[in-house]
Amino acid sequence: MKTIKTLLFFVTLLVSNVMLGQSKEEMIKEWQRAKAYTQEYLDAMPAEKYDLKPTPEMRSFAQQMLHFTDANYAFASAASGEKSPVGMGESEKATDQSKANVTKLVNASYDFVINAIGKMSDASFKETVKMFGRFEMSKGTALNKCFEHQTHHRGQTTVYIRLAGVKPPQEKLF
């Protein structure tokens, strides 16, 4: 058991160092790819299905997209020091959750993240930030957590698209 814990520790350390070793240009390129891939998801879902919920207690497709939109602003603002133009949770509470408005709001959040990263120096990714008043991490880690979060929620919407009777976009790993 101790050997497994030790191995997991070193694997985690290695992965963290690789992720933190990502340059600003590489990070921007990945966010641009994520934006393009998310656009394919937004385009794939029929406009009349943006309110689709797999079960009543779950978020709708629009709410899933707007949930990570809010997180994009929150994480990028905290990591970069750029003031978010959107209040915490404001996007998900938007009364207009039409395809056109959701697409506009989601893309604006990606633009905010990409522009915020562009203003940071490579050295600043190693600086420490406290996320949500309790999680201390490097700014690079905070941005990677943000990337992980949007990937997670976009991935969840694959099921929504299938439930709408549409084929989801092909994987866009590169």
The C-alpha atoms of residue 123 and residue 42 are separated, in whole angstroms, by 34
Question: Cα dihedral sign for 129, 20, 26, 149?
Answer: negative
Q: Is 12 exposed, middle or buried (0-12, 13-18, 19+ CB in 10 A)?
A: exposed
| Cα gap 68→29, rounded to integer Å | 19
- The response to whether 67 counts as a known ligand-binding position is yes
- Please name the amino acid found at residue 1: M
Cβ distance 52 to 164 under 8 Å? yes
- Which residues, 6+ apart, have CB-to-CB distance to 128 below 8 Å? 136, 137, 138, 139
152 is in an annotated binding site: no
Query: Is 153 labelled a binding residue?
Result: yes
Q: Residues at the annotated binding site for a divalent metal cation?
A: 67, 149, 153
Q: Residues at the annotated binding site?
A: 67, 149, 153
